[in-house]
């Protein structure tokens, strides 16, 4: 079986690979077995950034797209603590807000991790999938995150570094 490895050097050495059959292989988060993650996976939208959902190999994960443009969501990742990384509040068109810690990794991938919600969710967005607005992938997930995970802490303010405990 042919496999193509897409290096996404995310937290914890996350590496993503695509099998010839179209299954995205991605490691599960440490708390992926949390029952809330099952609800999030089942409630995930059929499309993100206009790309269709594809099969993944791990519990608590969802992916959309193909090849280098694949967007991956992992539920059950370690919640971020205090950091100097950017924390921003993203609001969808219905006014629902979710706080995200945002990191750019090696200049070609953005990693959005929910802040103040447990279990935490991360979303990796290759620059090629959304060169002008990578936050649109996180925005596509606002409803499923807010519906399933209560916010207990918040960013100090949109784009501020630092957190309110």
What digits encode the pLDDT tens for the residues 19-40?
A: 445 799 999 999 999 999 999 9
- Percentage of the chain with pLDDT > 70? 82
Per-residue pLDDT for 11 more than 70? Answer: no
Does the pLDDT of residue 68 top 70, yes or no?
yes
Q: What is the pLDDT of the chain when averaged over all its residues?
A: 86
Intra-chain end-to-end CA distance of the chain, in Å: 48
Q: Quick: pLDDT tens for 75-90.
A: 999 999 888 899 999 9
* Average pLDDT, integer, range 42-67: 97
Number of neighbouring beta carbons within 10 Å of residue 132: 6
pLDDT of residue 156: 76
- SS3 of residue 9 by DSSP: strand
Distance CA 104, CA 127 (A): 9
Backbone angles phi, psi at 156, to 5 degrees: -60, -40
For the chain, percent of residues with pLDDT exceeding 90: 76
| pLDDT reported for residue 21 | 58
Least confident of 2-6, 63-67, 72-76: 2-6
Q: Give tens-digit pLDDT for 95-113.
A: 999 999 999 998 899 999 9
Q: Which residue has the tokens 């100090």?
A: 156
What pLDDT score was predicted for residue 6? 32
* Top-confidence residue, 130 or 19: 130
């Amino acid at each position: 079986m042919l496999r193509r490895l897409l290096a996404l050097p995310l937290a914890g050495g996350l590496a993503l690979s695509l099998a010839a059959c179209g299954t995205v292989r991605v490691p599960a988060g440490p708390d992926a077995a949390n029952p809330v993650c099952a609800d999030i996976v089942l409630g995930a939208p059929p499309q993100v950034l206009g790309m269709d959902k594809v099969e993944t190999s791990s519990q608590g994960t969802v992916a959309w797209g193909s090849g280098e443009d694949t967007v991956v969501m992992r539920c059950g990742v370690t919640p971020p603590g205090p950091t100097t990384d950017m924390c921003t509040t993203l609001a969808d068109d219905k006014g629902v807000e979710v706080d995200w810690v945002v990191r750019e990794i090696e200049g070609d991938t953005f990693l959005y991790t929910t802040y103040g919600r447990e279990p935490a969710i991360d979303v990796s967005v290759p620059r090629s999938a959304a060169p002008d607005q990578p936050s649109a992938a996180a925005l596509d997930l606002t409803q499923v995150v807010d519906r399933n995970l209560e916010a207990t802490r918040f960013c100090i303010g949109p784009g501020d570094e630092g957190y309110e405990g």
